[in-house]
Every structure is written in structure tokens, then in C-alpha cells.
Amino acid sequence: MVITHGLRAPRVRITRLAFVVTSLLVLLISLDVATPVSAHANSYYACKSAAYSCVLDGYNATTMNDNWAAQYYGADTKGGIGTPPHNCTLYAAWMLAHNGLANPGHSWGYADQWGRTLAAETNHTPAVGSIAWYEGGAMGHVAYVAQIDWTNETVFLVSDNYAGGVNGYTSNGWVPINQPTGYIHVRDQPEVTALATRRRLPMRP
């Protein structure tokens, strides 16, 4: 009886251990499934943050006031942009100014108006430094084109996003080239500037 009891106990412990390990694995898998990558404009985020970690070239709540973009799309302009401030038109204009575009002297309107206001500079072909323009939605959307994968016909878009009230976030990710309504070309950049070695973007495999 002693020997029999001694043999059964380890089996119970092994069974319990196996149950615990299996339960942990199931929990980890379910957590992974329960937190899918969020979608925006039918794309997947490579990065999404309530702070400014997903954008390029030092844009944040302080530096966003460093050029003419804040004059037309910043916190003192018409419409709220949240706390901390987030606005797709502000970031798109900030990147254009950062890349050397002179002050246009006026606003191009809400995001859905950009492609119409700048119709002469808008087409369906992306370029690094161009602005991806979405006409649909409540007030449209604009994003900075940081990289292009011509083989897969995708573009890597970087944007700031106002989400209503005090909410907002920065984001980036790959989307199909034909997803935006169009591309606005007012300060295109050489494509080499978007290499991961400079801007730390995720490269295509």
C-alpha cells in the first residue's frame, strides 16, 4: 500500500502540472486573439500611440508649434484637437513645412477639402513626402507618405489623428496604394530619405 500510494502521488502532481501549463498556454493564446491589430481606413497599424511615438522627425506637443503648420491647424485654430493635441492636418502640414515647404499664406481647410483645394497638385500616384488624402468620413483624413513598396503596391503612412473630445493618437502602417482617394504633391522628397536607417521605419521583408 505504501508503494502504491507512492506511485500514485507523482502521477497526480504531473497531471496537475500539465493542467496548469495547458491552461497558461490557452490563456496566452486567447489574450493574443483578443487583442488584434486595430484597423483604420481598412489598414493595419504598425504603431498606434496616444503619445507621439509613431510619428517622424521629432513631432510632439511642443515641436508642433515650431513652424507655420500650427498657425492654420494648431490648438488656437477653429475646432478642438484634444489634450494632448492631435490633428491629422496639423501633422501633415508640419511635415511639409519640416521638409521645406514655404508658408502657403492660408489654410487648405479640413482634411476632406485638401485634395479639392489642391486639385492641381493631386493625383493617384504616391511619392515619398506627398500627402495621402482621404475624402470620406466626417472630415476626411490626411497622412504623410514616408515609404513606398512598389512591388507590393503599398505605402507606409504616418499620421496624427484627432478622435473627438480630448482624444487622439499617432499611428503608422502599410496600406494599399489605391486605398487613399489621392496623393497631394506640394513638397515631395527623394525616396531614399525614407530608408529605415534614417527614419527607423519597418522595412518590407
Q: What is the pLDDT of residue 80?
A: 60
Say how far residue 155 (Cα) sits from the centre of its chain.
Answer: 12
Mean local confidence (pLDDT), 38-46: 54
Q: Report the pLDDT value the prediction gives residue 77, as an integer from 0 to 100.
A: 67
Whether the pLDDT of residue 195 is over 50: the answer is no
Number of residues that this document lists for the chain:
205
Predicted pLDDT at 117: 98
> Tell me: the pLDDT tens digits for 77-86?
655 688 889 9
| pLDDT above 70 (res 205) | no
Tens digit of each residue's pLDDT (9 = 90 or more) over 67-118: 999 999 987 765 568 888 999 999 999 999 999 999 999 999 999 999 999 9
Residue 196 CA: distances (Å) to CA of 56, 74, 96, 100: 11, 29, 20, 21
Would you say residue 181 has pLDDT above 70? yes
